[in-house]
Amino acid sequence: MASSAPSSRPATAPFSVCFVCTGNICRSPMAESVFRALVRDADLDGLVLVDSAGTDGWHEGDEADPRTVAVLASAGFDTAHAARQFQAGWFARLDLVVALDRGHQRALRRLARTPQDADKVRLLRSFDPSAVAAGDLDVPDPYYGDFVGFEECLKMVEAACEGLLDVVRDTVEGRPE
């Protein structure tokens, strides 16, 4: 499990997290919605900014996949979303770039302009101790599967986001005011 979240931004700026999958219509919107709810419930609104994007721009402007929307809605999460593509210039404003699988991690590290930017890229499931113990750090893409795959994806995302929240909370609470 990652022990700390990298940051090169001023301590007074909100901590900024961006979740990234392929098209930004399935996994990363799920993670964004789940993590945003956790941040709100932890009273960290205003201290932590949450966003998502895709490594590719195929779905720019589209809403989340209807199956993602259904799974999120049934679990009580927000479903508002518009897909967009991750841009290399965003690294400057982000503290943590959370990849949903190793392919995204590699793509994001290739986009990084500096070693510090590359160090900001982490796998989501690296924040889930059970996933780390099992050596299973990818969140599988549910897009070509059935609804059950989306439900399983949400469970993985929820478990990992809990661990991520602990790391982000420690980082935010450790910043000088």
User: What is the rounded CA–CA span in Å between residue 151 and residue 122?
Assistant: 23
CATH of the domain at 19: 3.40.50.2300
Question: How many domains does the chain contain in total?
Answer: 1
On whether residue 7 sits in a domain, the answer given is: no
Distances (CA, A) of 99 to 12, 25, 27, 73: 25, 14, 10, 23
CA 138, 139, 143, 146 torsion-angle sign: positive
Q: What is the pLDDT of residue 104?
A: 98
What is the phi/psi pair of residue 174, to 5°?
Answer: -85, -5
On whether residue 28 sits in a domain, the answer given is: yes
What is the phi/psi pair of residue 99, to 5°?
Answer: -85, 145
On whether residue 10 sits in a domain, the answer given is: no
On whether residue 2 sits in a domain, the answer given is: no
Report the greatest alpha carbon distance in the chain: 47
On whether residue 73 sits in a domain, the answer given is: yes
Q: Which residues are catalytic?
A: 21, 27, 141
On whether residue 147 sits in a domain, the answer given is: yes
Q: What is the pLDDT of residue 80?
A: 96
Domain that holds residue 104: 15-173
Element (H, E) at 98: strand 96-99
Distances (CA, A) of 91 to 9, 21, 48, 116: 10, 16, 16, 9
Mean pLDDT of each 10-residue bin along the chain, 177 residues long = 48 90 98 98 96 95 97 98 97 98 98 97 98 97 96 98 97 78
User: What is the rounded CA–CA span in Å between residue 159 and residue 167?
Assistant: 13
On whether residue 168 sits in a domain, the answer given is: yes
User: What is the rounded CA–CA span in Å between residue 35 and residue 116?
Assistant: 24
On whether residue 75 sits in a domain, the answer given is: yes
